[in-house]
Amino acid sequence: MQKGKIGVSSDNLFPIIKKFLYSDHDIFLREIVSNAVDATQKLKTLAGRGETSVSVEHAKVRVSLDTDKKTITVSDNGIGMTADEIEKYINQIAFSGANEFLEKYESDANAIIGHFGLGFYSSFMVSNKVEIVTKSYKDGAEAVKWSCDGSPEYSIEEAERAEVGTDIIMYINEDSKEFLEKERLSGILNKYCKFLPVPVVFGKETEWKDGKQVETDKDNQINETNPAWTKAPVDLKDEDYASFYRKLYPMGDEPLFNIHLNVDYPFNLTGILYFPKLKNSIEVQKNKIQLYSNQVFVTDSVEGIVPEFLTLLHGVIDSPDIPLNVSRSYLQSDSNVKKISSHITKKVADRLHQLFKDSRADFEKKWDDLKIFIEYGMLTDDKFAERAMNFFLFKNTEGKYFTFEEYEKLIKENQTNKDNNLVYLYTSNLEEQYTFVQTAKDKGYDVLIMDDVLATPLLNKFEQQHSDKRFVRVDSDVVENLIQKEDEKDELSWDEKEELSPVFQAVCPEANGVNYLVDFKNLGESGQPIVITRNEFMRRMKDMGQLQGGMNFYGDLPESLNLVVNTAHPLVQKVLDSKDKKLGKAFETIKEDLNAKKQERDALEKAKEGKKDEEVPAAEKEKLEDLGKSIAELEKQKREKLTDFGKKNKLTKQLVDLALLANGMLKGEALDQFVRRSVELIK
C-alpha cells in the first residue's frame, strides 16, 4: 500500500469544500454521476476511433444504496483510471483531467466537457470516507483502490475489479443520512440526471403482483438518454413536443405552442421553449425553464440568465457555453449569457411573427392566452417591443382583433378630437362599464377591451411613444368629453350651478373613503341626468401604485369620483325649479341680503384701492370686517338651506342613486332605500 498527501496548498481546503463549495449538498450526486457518464462517453469515443477493444455496448451507470454499510456507490463501465491517473486527476485536485483529454480529442470536445472543477471532491460534503475502485481500459492495467477519509491523507493499493470501469463508494456521514433514503435519492436523481446521455440505473423496476408492488429483476433506468431537445426538429411531430412537455411538467396544462432552439454559432445552444397558458397570477408561473449543460441539469432559476419576461416560458435550454459552477452575478455579467439572452428574445419574437403570418385566425384564437406574455415583454424589453408591433393585437368589444396599424385606420376618421389627437377608448370591464361602453357605441365610437393587469403600464408606454395618441377609459369622463370635437355651450348660469352644487353634494354617499366632486356638463336632453366618472389620470396612477405594491403616493389617495350633472336634462331643471319653490321667500331674502352686503363690500373695497393702510379710516375698516363676517354667515345659511333641500328632495336622491346604480355602486341599505323610494314614486 502506498500512502501520500493530496496535493492541495493548505490543509484547510477540505473543510472549505465541505462547507462552502456548494450550498446544495445534494449536488454531490450530480457531480459523481456526471463524472461516471463522462468516463463512459470517453470510452465510447475511444472505441469509435478503434483505439480500444473494450466493449461499450452495455455502457451504463449504476447507483446503488447499502443502508447497512451506509454507503452510496456509483459504478460505471467507462474509461477507468490507472494509479498514475489517480495521482494526476484526483490527488492533484487543482488539475482538471478534462483539459488534457480535450486537447487530444478536440473535434469531439462537445460530448466530453468537464466543467465542474472540483466535482469529485463534492462527495466529501456528505461522506466520512470515499473510496475509488477503478480499472483502466489500457492494456495490462491493474485495478487500484484509492481511499480517503476526508483529511488530506489518502491511501492507494491494489484491488480486485473484473471489468474496466470505476466504482465511487461514499460512506455517508451522520449529518447526511437523509441521502440514505431511497426516496430522497431517487428524487435527486430525477432532478439532476433525468436526461443524461448514458443510461443511469437505480434499483429494480417494480410491478403489481397479487395486489402489491414487487421488484422485478429488470434494472430501473431513471433517465431518458435522447430527450426531445437533442433531436432535429424535422424528426419531431407535434405529439413528441407535447409528450416531452408532459414529462417536464406532469401537472401542467397543455402549452399553446413551442419554439425549438438550435444554434451552433456564435455559441452552442439547443432547447425547446413552450408558451404556457398563463393564469391570472404571473408570479407562480415564473421560472419554470430548466437549464442544462450537456444534458446535466443545472438550475431552474433562470432569472438574470434569460430576459425577465421570458421567465414566463417553460421548457429546457441546454448550452455547454454557459459557465455553470460560478456565482449568479458572474453568470449575469457573462458575455455568452448576454448573447444567449438576446438571441432567445429574437427567436421568440420571430416565432410569434411567423405564427401570426402563417395563420392569423389561429393566432387570434390564442391571443387572449398569449397577450399577458407579449405585453410583459413589450414593457420590459424595448427590442422585443419593437418587433412585437408587428403582431400585437387590440381586441374590441365586438371580439374583433386589429393590429396597431389596422386599428388606427379604423378609428382615424371618427375618433380624432379637436386638438388632432387620436383617441382610443377602452373598457377594463365590459360588465361594470356597460352603460359607458353603450353610450360611446351609440356615438359611433369603437371601444377596446383592455382588461388585464398590465393594461395600464402598457397604455402609458404607448402614449409615451406616440404623443398624438390618447387612451381613455370609457368611464373616465362623459362621452362628450372623451373625444371633444368642439367647445361646448352651457345651459345653466354660473349662479344656478353654484346653487345646485351643494344640493347634489348633499346626497352623495359618504362612506367608503370615496370623495365626490360635483361637476356640470351639457350632455344633451337625451343624455343621462347624472353620470359618475373616474378621472383617467388619477385612476391610472392608482393602478400603477397597486402594481408596485401600494407603496406609491397615488396608491394611498382616497378614490375620487366625478358626479357629472347634465345641465341640459329636464329633470335637472326640475330640481332647480322645485328648489326655488320649496325654499321660497325666506331663501330669496337670504340671497338678496347676501347680494346687498356683497355690493356694499365691493364698493368699500373699491374705495380703498390705491390707498395706504393708514389712510383708510378705522370706521371703514371695521365696517369691512363686519361685512365679511355677515357675508360668511349668510353664505353658511344659504349652503345649509341648499344642503337641507338636497337631503329632503326625493328627486335629487333618486337621480344620484340611479347614477350609482348604473355603476354597480348602490349596495346594502342604500339600495334598499332606493327600491322603497322608487315604489313610492311610482305610486
Taking CB under 6 A as the criterion, the residue among 81, 296, 503, 565 binding ligand ATP is 81
Task: For residue 296, list its beta bridge partners.
Answer: 293
Nearest-angstrom CA–CA distance, 220 and 238? 28
Under DSSP, the state recorded for 109 is G
Nearest-angstrom CA–CA distance, 248 and 195? 11
Of residues 165 and 646, the one with the C-beta less far from ligand ATP:
165
Taking CB under 6 A as the criterion, the residue among 114, 197, 307, 377 binding ligand ATP is 114
Binding mask 38-67 for ligand ATP (x = CB under 6 A): -x----------------------------
Task: Considering only residues 122 through 181, tell me which ones interact with ligand ATP, judged by CB under 6 A.
Answer: 166
Taking CB under 6 A as the criterion, the residue among 27, 29, 33, 90 binding ligand ATP is 90
Of residues 90 and 583, the one with the C-beta less far from ligand ATP:
90
Of residues 165 and 307, the one with the C-beta less far from ligand ATP:
165
Under DSSP, the state recorded for 89 is I
Taking CB under 6 A as the criterion, the residue among 116, 241, 376, 384 binding ligand ATP is 116
Of residues 98 and 656, the one with the C-beta less far from ligand ATP:
98
Taking CB under 6 A as the criterion, the residue among 21, 27, 33, 36 binding ligand ATP is 36
Strands 447-449 and 422-427 come out as parallel
Q: For ligand ATP, which stretch binds (CB under 6 A), given 119-127, 232-240, 517-525, 597-605?
A: 119-127
Of residues 14 and 462, the one with the C-beta less far from ligand ATP:
14
Of residues 68 and 160, the one with the C-beta less far from ligand ATP:
160
Bond from prior residue into 266 cis (ω within 30 degrees of 0): yes
76 lines the binding site for ligand ATP (CB under 6 A): yes
Q: How far is the CB of 21 from ligand ATP (least distance, A)?
A: 11
Under DSSP, the state recorded for 350 is H
Q: How far is the CB of 358 from ligand ATP (least distance, A)?
A: 43
Using alpha carbons, list the distances in angstroms from residue 53 to 24, 45, 109, 144, 161: 40, 12, 22, 21, 18
Q: How far is the CB of 75 from ligand ATP (least distance, A)?
A: 9
Closest CA to 245 of 277, 279, 201, 221: 277
Q: For ligand ATP, which stretch binds (CB under 6 A), given 32-40, 334-342, 453-461, 621-629?
A: 32-40
Q: How far is the CB of 35 from ligand ATP (least distance, A)?
A: 3
Q: Which residue is nearest to ligand ATP (CB)?
A: 119
Amino acid code (one letter) for 543: D
Nearest-angstrom CA–CA distance, 261 and 320? 14
Binding mask 244-273 for ligand ATP (x = CB under 6 A): ------------------------------
Q: How far is the CB of 36 from ligand ATP (least distance, A)?
A: 5
Under DSSP, the state recorded for 396 is B
3-state SS string for 185-245: HHHHHHHHCCCCCCCEEEEEEEEEECCEEEEEEEEEECCCCCCHHHCCHHHCCHHHHHHHH
Taking CB under 6 A as the criterion, the residue among 63, 79, 530, 659 binding ligand ATP is 79
Q: How far is the CB of 301 from ligand ATP (least distance, A)?
A: 21
Q: How far is the CB of 304 from ligand ATP (least distance, A)?
A: 22
Q: How far is the CB of 88 from ligand ATP (least distance, A)?
A: 8
Nearest-angstrom CA–CA distance, 106 and 266? 18
Q: How far is the CB of 169 from ligand ATP (least distance, A)?
A: 12
Of residues 134 and 433, the one with the C-beta less far from ligand ATP:
134
Q: How far is the CB of 71 from ligand ATP (least distance, A)?
A: 16
Taking CB under 6 A as the criterion, the residue among 18, 27, 30, 35 binding ligand ATP is 35
3-state SS string for 553-603: HHHHCCEEEEEEEECCCHHHHHHHHHHHHHHHHHHHHHHHHHHHHHHHHHH
Binding mask 93-112 for ligand ATP (x = CB under 6 A): ---xxx--------------
Of residues 79 and 148, the one with the C-beta less far from ligand ATP:
79
Q: How far is the CB of 24 from ligand ATP (least distance, A)?
A: 15
118 lines the binding site for ligand ATP (CB under 6 A): yes
Of residues 138 and 441, the one with the C-beta less far from ligand ATP:
138
Torsion angle of C-alpha atoms 372, 377, 380, 385, degrees rounded to 10: -120
Of residues 75 and 528, the one with the C-beta less far from ligand ATP:
75
Burial state string for 543-562 with b = 16 or more CB within 10 A and e = fewer than 16: bebeeeeeebeebeeeeebb
Under DSSP, the state recorded for 255 is P
Burial class (CB in 10 A: 0-12, 13-18, 19+), 370: buried
294 lines the binding site for ligand ATP (CB under 6 A): no
CB-side exposure of 337: number of CA atoms within 13 Å? Answer: 20
Look at phi and psi of residue 39 and say left if phi exceeds 0, alpha if psi is from -120 to 50, else beta: alpha
Q: How many residues does the chain have?
A: 683
Which residues contribute to the annotated binding site for ATP? Answer: 31, 35, 76, 81, 96-97, 166, 328
Query: How many chain residues are in contact with ligand ATP, going by CB under 6 A?
Result: 23
Burial class (CB in 10 A: 0-12, 13-18, 19+), 380: middle
Q: How far is the CB of 60 from ligand ATP (least distance, A)?
A: 13
Which residues contribute to the annotated binding site? Answer: 31, 35, 76, 81, 96-97, 166, 328
Taking CB under 6 A as the criterion, the residue among 29, 60, 78, 433 binding ligand ATP is 78
115 lines the binding site for ligand ATP (CB under 6 A): yes
In sequence order, the 6+-apart residues with CB closer than 8 A to the CB of 56 are 40, 43, 44, 47, 77
Of residues 331 and 459, the one with the C-beta less far from ligand ATP:
331
Q: Collapsing DSSP states into helix, strand and coil, what is residue 137?
A: coil
Nearest-angstrom CA–CA distance, 18 and 123? 9
Nearest-angstrom CA–CA distance, 590 and 609? 28
Q: Collapsing DSSP states into helix, strand and coil, what is residue 634?
A: helix
Taking CB under 6 A as the criterion, the residue among 62, 119, 192, 539 binding ligand ATP is 119
Q: For ligand ATP, which stretch binds (CB under 6 A), given 31-39, 48-56, 339-347, 618-626?
A: 31-39
Taking CB under 6 A as the criterion, the residue among 22, 28, 89, 587 binding ligand ATP is 89
Q: How far is the CB of 111 from ligand ATP (least distance, A)?
A: 13
433 lines the binding site for ligand ATP (CB under 6 A): no
Q: How far is the CB of 333 from ligand ATP (least distance, A)?
A: 21
Opening angle at CA 177, ends 171 and 180, nearest 5:
75
Nearest-angstrom CA–CA distance, 643 and 501? 9
Residues forming the site for ligand ATP (CB under 6 A): 31, 35-36, 39, 76, 78-81, 89-90, 96-98, 114-121, 166
